[in-house]
Amino acid sequence: PRSVWLSRHGESMYNLSGRIGGDADLSPRGHQYAHKLPELGDRPLTVWTSTLKRTIATARYLPPNYNQLQWKALDELDAGVCDGMTYQEIKDVYPEDFVARDEDKYNYRYRGGESYRDVVIRLEPIIMELERSEDILIVTHQAILRCIYAYFMKKDQSRSPWMNVPLHCLIKLTPRAYGTDEERYQADI
Ligand code: F6P
């Protein structure tokens, strides 16, 4: 690809209350980011979102000539029985799981849900499609973005759970012969 543009969705109501997973709407700040996003690109892009409301709403104000596609494979890491909980609630209700995840975050699979390792596998078709596409903007979720970012930056996938992908930051990656160039644009909201 020429460049891959990556963004998390704008801040959601769950981000505000510290809850994981779910299908929450954007917060007022998240809406501000959605309005800013069109100013950040510099050429027509094809936009891939997840099927969840917060990524679709984040891409809503991009120009109508940008093709948009929703991928289930871009939905956030499935937290299973912990979906919708805060980390404190998980610690109280499933203390052993909380410790197990801390000890091996890459391999830990939520009860009834997924691990980072599972996400890396389900992202394979996305990565293959990305490799043969040009100028794609992906609006997705923290865990998913960490895995895609690690792939393009040629980091070991087992390190993906610790990649830094903040909210309201557009990351532009350009693969080159010697490695991948990275630019970050943090929205000022
Ligand atoms: O808190 C936002 C979020 O995207 C959750 O939906 C998700 O479970 C979490 O981040 C992933 O981050 P971590 O793997 O560090 O818990």
How confident is the model over 86-122, as pLDDT tens digits?
A: 999 999 999 999 999 999 999 999 999 999 999 999 9
Ligand 1 contact, 79 CB (< 6 A): yes
Q: Which of 20, 86, 102 to mutate to test the pocket of ligand 1 (most atoms within 8 A of CB)?
A: 20
End-to-end CA distance of the chain: 30
Backbone CA torsion sign across 162, 89, 9, 13 = negative
Protein residue closest via CA to atom 1 of ligand 1:
20
Q: What pLDDT is recorded for position 43?
A: 79
Catalytic residue among 11, 15, 31, 168: 15
Whether 31 is a known active-site residue: answer no
pLDDT, block means (10 residues), the chain with 189 residues: 93 98 98 93 88 98 95 98 98 98 98 98 97 94 98 97 98 94 95
CA of 79 to the centre of ligand 1 (A): 9
Whether the Cβ atoms of residue 141 and residue 74 lie closer than 8 Å to each other: yes
Quote the CA–CA distance of 87 and 11 in Å, as a whole number.
18
Given the DSSP bridges, would you call strands 68-70 and 169-176 parallel, antiparallel or unpaired? unpaired
CA of 178 to the centre of ligand 1 (A): 32
Protein residue closest via CA to atom 11 of ligand 1:
143
Give the Å distances, CA to CA, from 15 to 23, 60, 141, 166. 11, 19, 11, 12
The CA-based angle 126-130-136, given to 5 degrees, is 115
Q: Could you report the predicted ipTM of this complex, rounded to two decimals?
A: 0.99
Task: Supply the DSSP symbol for 18.
Answer: T
> Could you give the angle at which helices 142-152 and 124-131 cross, rounded to 10 degrees?
50
Q: What pLDDT is recorded for position 108?
A: 98
Q: What pLDDT is recorded for position 1?
A: 66
Given the DSSP bridges, would you call strands 169-176 and 179-186 parallel, antiparallel or unpaired? antiparallel
CA of 176 to the centre of ligand 1 (A): 30
Quote the CA–CA distance of 88 and 23 in Å, as a whole number.
20
Structure tokens at 32: 């501000």
